[in-house]
Structure 1
């Protein structure tokens, strides 16, 4: 019998990633022997309907397949069974490691042919190198993520019923979110308690012997700096110098080195992009994710390329390869004097996870200008920021020539000071300068060359200008400053910064006021209760300690059971105390009365908050469930509220919040002389799929609710159905909730993904009630909105 020469066809290696777009990029780097697919994030989680954690049995978690992921899991199982080898290439962090572990369990993978691979950047040589150096799943990382998930589930599941009974039904509590809310509430209390204090400054305008004008400010005397806090003190200084010219009493010239800032980590990227680009944290991370996963740069640039390293990191470490590439670029484009004597190495904080490099360009040959035409406007701006910051971090220091001049009037002990600097050598500043939080008034100011003065020279006094000022209260936190606080206090990790802020806004504990974050009434009432009954949960030191404990699990220095047991002892005691002593009816919150009379029971109706804004409800709920539109024809109380920081675009007057036929709206304070108005828009906590802006709730001419981008008309995204902060498990596109129906569907009609949701949920009842309110009808509203 002739020997067969036919070769058995090799089965492809299977590579499973989280993101479809990242999978698409990697697909182009590997040969035909590899099949690359995506899990679309987690495929298993704790059940939503129960605690899902057996506390008595060593905190054992019970995971179930996520609803709607069944078809995907079956397909992945089939692919894995046919493959020679399975590579789990989920993200290189705790969450990614946990997803790899869940995939291994849910797909029943053969451990002999299953490998874990990670890469810090999505580039061809790095991906191929990762394939050559696989490893086993790191159970320390998995255990750390599981401990966090179980901690958060216990807190949320046990605390939420407490809030339902004491604050408002339907509320949910989070471990780190509660601490973050307290930070914002504490700042608001500081602002309210702030008492302005008057202080004074005295400015001089002088003319030097050569006729050049310069300015100086009161500084102090020979014993040091003096703060002018009293008018009598200021008058004494003025009396001492009025009518006199000033002599140069001293002049000091120095040369200072100004060093570059390190490359970005997650927190500094979010802070700087917020200041320089005006992006919100959620938008920053979305754009960074796109740059990391890959952008099609055209055939001439090798097709799809990952442009930056992994964007969730707290490490300042840079690879030798990246340092070498930066050195070559700096020497070729700027010259030897722009490169330091030794490559720059930045020290990472002691509590950093240090799992990844700092955020940097994956390949310096792709300069921002070279690939600008392939990027959206937002992608280009963020990539340029990252590219410039990294290159600058490897460059020589700048050299500043500073001059400080002190002036003194005859027979006066007081000194007036003028200072400035000129950049003698730009160094890294030729590429990048960091934003300043609050400039120091006494610091030397950048200027052109100061007049060349000599000690003993007399300058003629042109003007002496005393001014009164008042101290300002501390500023409210912005997203950038809150993230900086998280980092400094260690109460969160890079992967959780943005979700924390998104969550406390979505839950109604905090609202955006311009760029600032302000607590709502609900947030303040909830925080007060949490402080009284669960002080550890809202304590920043305790929260930071828990983060350190999770880090210790990752390092193998402790176990999840030990951490969870230690936490639960104190938490259980607080919970029992709260059950015994907390009020069993909702706490007193300020109630806004209306002039509407309930026709069912005769009570005066009060204002309640619903999903779509305020409405009038009977205070005798649940005995009486009557509701009606807040601004019904019967005379309601017309309250007018000033809006801080908002100006009329027609006349420049202050804007106020007024009630109207269809709800509140912004109007000029000079009405009826000025009739400028603006709608009040509500953010829904979802990022626009077109431009990355925030999606907001609007009303059309027929008063029907729809959803649009805040950047309209530059961005034309709009939808009648509610966009969700969730992606399709099949194709990764945005999901929508069908208006008035009990299902969720994928934005891509060709995909066809659809998932039913439970009818008559609290959310559905609220929607129905508000639809009736919008149409001027009465509605029976579930306890979720009444309590």
Structure 2
């Protein structure tokens, strides 16, 4: 073998292999091959933060195969991605494969096309150790923070928690925004809008004009007085202003702007966008998708100009060169663009194609002419009031880039106004004053969080998607839709009759779609870290770390020096936090005293989330405390004593089953409940449930256990038993083995050991024998344990 080319992904390998001749063999490393060990810190802090890397277990076979190929090759080419992470993977490959770094050729390309690859082969370089050191510094720094901070959280708050240099700051943003929303008090005002009738010189109506009052009134009485005066007023055009305007296109996509636009226009999550973009890049359809740069190459500019002229005409071409705002753009090569702008369809996958079209349109639009507009503003004077009503219109004279990319921003005032001149008379059509409420801060969507992180200088293109994924996986943040609440508002209206009518209407407000909400544990961890690790949580400090990593990449700062300075401040904070009590760290809130028992009531955080506790005894013969989980929507920060006392009303006996009820499954198993069975609403670690017999339970989804009726409970029991019967496909008499319907299709289960085994979609479950089912259960992993663990003994803090 003459040449071995090693890339990161198999898809990329296939694409590159098409462009290289028979003298080249292309293989994939399948991503990272070495990392710090999963167990232990893996860093020798005392000896200059020396990392101890190991080949990850799932990559040992890959490394052995690459070693054999490398030994038989005349030249090895490392063609991993062009960013720091890609450079670090190239270095790890050189280390693991025992390659001579002086003779091993390193090549990079920001697009997988034949010209780009040929150009890279003609101009190889060696591994850039500055980029490698910057990536090493990031990895080591993040491991130190996670390794030393997470155990503190386990000891002081709850096991299983994690902290990270970027993730904890991202969680802080979401927690602080939620608290701003909770503290927000909307301001009320009344806004005037409506329609006037334009009159000709003879006083005859010729057209209608939509108008607004630029100012708002603070009270209903002020709005009422204005409407009455408007109805009495003579109205005339006081001023007509016409002026040309223009709209310019936005730059081509960077990583963060692509994530934001794909979220807003296509409804994609940040992770989904990056997965789709990765596939398009590896297939050679777009340039590299992790970039801070808005620059386009001269070749791309010429190609864009040619496509625009062919498709829309010469008037639509306006070549532009954009510059990145970020002085330290990490991947300052090119913006994200198609490799061939003339290609309109590049994938049979619907979402890949939709993302590609978005990238193509944005790239073309960036090289198109400004849209030219004509804006008209007309002020209308009232004889009885000093304020002026205003009409606005906007027409597109030349659509320019908007032909491809649509209209950015509001189209509220678009449309042509009728011709008007100063002094022309109008009369009242209708005017309304609508009560409006100022909007509080908006919750973050994934795209909005990316934008904020970028603005603050926190993280880099490669870190946004994994950071947002991590904070959701760790249970600090949930992304969900929430229904709004109904709110009343007032509307006043007046027409040419002069009588002001008023009414109260309702609207739904506060509905949320795919927004990020912090969990209770997020607030507790954020407050704890803010108090004891202020530097780690400081936005400017986190951004400063990114700047230092850029300096390391540029060869201006030694990575070990940067880590040493960081650790000298960080480690003493870790040692000091060891002395914080669990009560202080967990922010136990005393809510008051139970009026019936005189015992204290408090709210705490536990393994399964927040809960309330009645009494703090359990020692010296005192009664054990009583516990109750919070209801959905309740929060530790805002829970009151009255709320907590309601929660202690469970378990709640609803009554007795009024009749016998039974359902027979396909295998003959009968599920039954007898008349007289006690129906009891309870709350467990996984939510509220209904007990209707010994070891017989039904989850209460969609019901409040504190207010549900006996009739509703009976319906729940019947529905639950019917669902249990419907679940059974087949059973084997004399054994615990059954075949059940599951969320993803039929599966085998052992009702005693709780072990499950898969059934392929192509298999007929009725054709499986007991022996085959038993064999699969024996080979299946043991069932995961669920439920509460035994309470830990009290430790003195």
TM range (shorter): 0.7 to 0.9
1:38 CA displacement: 0.6
Give the Cα–Cα distance (whole angstroms) in 2 for the partners of residues 228 and 525 of structure 1: 41
User: What is the DSSP-based 3-state SS (H/G/I as helix, E as strand, rest coil) of the residue aligned with 2:479?
Assistant: strand
Q: For each residue in 1:141-193, what CA deviation from the matched residue of structure 2 results, as whole angstroms up to 9, or x when unmatched?
A: 10110000011000000001100011101211111000000000000000110
2:249–2:370: 8 Å Cα contact kept in structure 1? Answer: yes
- Equivalent in 308, 332, 347 of residue 310 of structure 2: 332
Mapped pair 1:364 → 2:337? no
User: What is the DSSP-based 3-state SS (H/G/I as helix, E as strand, rest coil) of the residue aligned with 2:82?
Assistant: coil
Corresponding residue of 2:476: 509
Give the Cα–Cα distance (whole angstroms) in 1 for the partners of residues 725 and 613 of structure 2: 27
1:355 CA displacement: 2.9
1:125 CA displacement: 1.6
Corresponding residue of 2:441: 474
Q: For each residue in 1:491-533, what CA deviation from the matched residue of structure 2 results, as whole angstroms up to 9, or x when unmatched?
A: 1111000101100000000001221000001111111111111
User: What is the DSSP-based 3-state SS (H/G/I as helix, E as strand, rest coil) of the residue aligned with 1:147?
Assistant: helix
Give the Cα–Cα distance (whole angstroms) in 2 for the partners of residues 161 and 276 of structure 1: 41
1:392 CA displacement: 0.5
1:594–1:637: 8 Å Cα contact kept in structure 2? Answer: no
Corresponding residue of 2:238: 249
Corresponding residue of 2:635: none
1:700–1:163 Cα change, 3 Å:
farther
1:662–1:315 Cα change, 3 Å:
farther
Corresponding residue of 2:209: 214
TM-score (norm. length: structure 1): 0.75
1:84–1:113: 8 Å Cα contact kept in structure 2? Answer: no
1:638 CA displacement: 6.2
1:20–1:38: 8 Å Cα contact kept in structure 2? Answer: yes
Q: How many residue pairs end up in the alignment? A: 636
1:165–1:584: 8 Å Cα contact kept in structure 2? Answer: no
1:659–1:217 Cα change, 3 Å:
farther
Contiguous gaps of at least 5 residues in structure 1: 1-10, 220-225, 295-305, 610-628, 642-656, 679-697, 705-715, 722-738, 748-763, 774-778
2:681–2:689: 8 Å Cα contact kept in structure 1? Answer: no
Mapped pair 1:230 → 2:246? no
Q: For each residue in 1:387-406, what CA deviation from the matched residue of structure 2 results, as whole angstroms up to 9, or x when unmatched?
A: 00000000000001111111
Q: CA RMSD in A?
A: 3.7
1:486 CA displacement: 0.9
Corresponding residue of 2:285: 307
Corresponding residue of 1:43: 33
Corresponding residue of 1:688: none
User: What is the DSSP-based 3-state SS (H/G/I as helix, E as strand, rest coil) of the residue aligned with 1:212?
Assistant: strand
- Equivalent in 15, 30, 47 of residue 25 of structure 1: 15
Give the Cα–Cα distance (whole angstroms) in 2 for the partners of residues 143 and 243 of structure 1: 77
Moved more, 565-574 or 483-492: 565-574
1:630–1:663: 8 Å Cα contact kept in structure 2? Answer: no
1:469 CA displacement: 1.3
- Equivalent in 381, 389, 405 of residue 408 of structure 1: 381
Higher relative contact order by CA 8 Å / sep ≥ 6: 1 or 2? 1
Q: For each residue in 1:670-713, what CA deviation from the matched residue of structure 2 results, as whole angstroms up to 9, or x when unmatched?
A: 999999x99xxxxxxxxxxxxxxxxxxx9996499xxxxxxxxx
Give the Cα–Cα distance (whole angstroms) in 2 for the partners of residues 95 and 366 of structure 1: 30
1:261–1:434: 8 Å Cα contact kept in structure 2? Answer: no
Corresponding residue of 1:194: 184
Corresponding residue of 1:316: 294
1:333 CA displacement: 1.4
- Equivalent in 572, 592, 597 of residue 611 of structure 2: 592
Contiguous gaps of at least 5 residues in structure 2: 200-204, 482-513, 589-603, 631-649, 654-677, 691-696, 717-722, 730-742, 749-753, 762-780
1:348 CA displacement: 3.9
Mapped pair 1:768 → 2:781? no
1:85–1:114: 8 Å Cα contact kept in structure 2? Answer: yes
- Equivalent in 154, 157, 164 of residue 174 of structure 1: 164
1:674–1:204 Cα change, 3 Å:
farther
The structure number with the bigger radius of gyration is 2
Corresponding residue of 1:547: 546
Corresponding residue of 2:454: 487
Mapped pair 1:390 → 2:358? no
1:662 CA displacement: 4.8
Q: For each residue in 1:580-631, what CA deviation from the matched residue of structure 2 results, as whole angstroms up to 9, or x when unmatched?
A: 3454886232553599xx9xx985664679xxxxxxxxxxxxxxxxxxx999
Give the Cα–Cα distance (whole angstroms) in 2 for the partners of residues 718 and 141 of structure 1: 48
Give the Cα–Cα distance (whole angstroms) in 2 for the partners of residues 409 and 325 of structure 1: 57
User: What is the DSSP-based 3-state SS (H/G/I as helix, E as strand, rest coil) of the residue aligned with 1:665?
Assistant: coil
Corresponding residue of 1:726: none
TM-score (norm. length: structure 2): 0.74
Q: For each residue in 1:558-596, what CA deviation from the matched residue of structure 2 results, as whole angstroms up to 9, or x when unmatched?
A: 11112112211221222122123454886232553599x
1:528–1:674 Cα change, 3 Å:
same
Moved more, 152-161 or 462-471: 462-471
Give the Cα–Cα distance (whole angstroms) in 1 for the partners of residues 785 and 236 of structure 2: 77
2:237–2:423: 8 Å Cα contact kept in structure 1? Answer: yes
